[in-house]
């Protein structure tokens, strides 16, 4: 009987230890930053020939609106339009691709980026420079090509 009581006391204690970190470095580490909540500030319509696996996620990072681009085929294009609030003051695109062979933004100005052939260790974050879109710019056309498509 005594062994059963000991087992009922020890098993819950051991189960609780599974949630505790045995690494002393983790004891004082802060909690990870929460993932920003998605927003729908811009209207984004795919214009790709193969839009399979393509999605766009908009989040605020400080005062900058970041549009994450995910592309299953690695080649795509989209039309970006402002909604009721207009264009954000700062805009960036994060390309979740293997390697960015080409990224183009066409609006009040046309800009093009090439990040080479080396695989990316993290998604490429491209800030759209001031003047690429203005308050009265009706839309931006974006296009991307993954080198390893």
Rg of the chain in Å (alpha carbons):
23
CA–CA dist 60, 63 (Å, integer)? 7
Residue 136 has a pLDDT of 94
**13 within domain boundaries:** no
Q: Is residue 20 part of a domain?
A: no
Asked if residue 7 belongs to a domain, the reply is no
- Residue 16 — pLDDT band, cuts 50, 70, 90? low
- Residue 78 resides in a domain: yes
Residue 56: CATH number of its domain: 2.60.40
pLDDT score of 82: 96
Q: What's the whole-number mean pLDDT along residues 42-63? A: 95
pLDDT in tens, 59-111: 999 999 999 999 999 999 999 999 999 999 999 999 999 999 999 999 999 99
Residue at 11 is within a domain: no
In a domain, 81, yes or no: yes
Supply the pLDDT for residue 11: 62
Q: What is the dihedral of CA 41, 149, 99, 35, to 10 degrees?
A: 40
pLDDT band at 28 (very low <50, low <70, confident <90, very high): confident
In a domain, 96, yes or no: yes
Going by C-beta distance under 8 Å and a sequence separation of 6 or more, which residues neighbour residue 126? 92, 93, 94, 95, 103, 113
- What pLDDT was estimated at residue 149? 78
Residue 55's contacts (CB-CB under 8 Å, 6 or more residues apart) are 70
Look at residue 14 and tell me if it is in a domain.
no
The parent domain of residue 47 ranges over 38-146
20 or 142, which is more confident = 142
Range 17-27 average pLDDT: 65
What is the per-residue pLDDT for 66? 98
Q: How many domains in the chain?
A: 1
pLDDT of residue 33: 75
Reply yes or no on whether the pLDDT at 56 is more than 90. yes
């Amino acid at each position: 009987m005594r062994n059963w009581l000991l087992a009922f006391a020890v098993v819950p204690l051991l189960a609780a230890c599974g949630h505790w970190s045995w690494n002393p470095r983790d004891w004082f580490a802060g909690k990870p930053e929460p993932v920003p909540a998605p927003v729908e500030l811009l209207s984004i319509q795919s214009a790709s020939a193969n839009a399979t696996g393509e999605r766009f996620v908009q989040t605020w990072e400080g005062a900058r609106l970041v549009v994450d681009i995910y592309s299953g085929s690695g080649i795509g294009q989209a039309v970006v339009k402002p909604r009721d609030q207009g264009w954000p003051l700062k805009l960036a695109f994060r390309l979740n691709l293997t390697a960015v062979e080409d990224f183009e933004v066409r609006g009040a100005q046309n800009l093009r980026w090439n990040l080479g052939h080396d695989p990316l260790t993290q998604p490429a974050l491209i800030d759209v420079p001031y003047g690429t879109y203005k308050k009265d710019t009706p839309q931006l056309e974006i296009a991307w090509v993954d080198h390893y498509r």
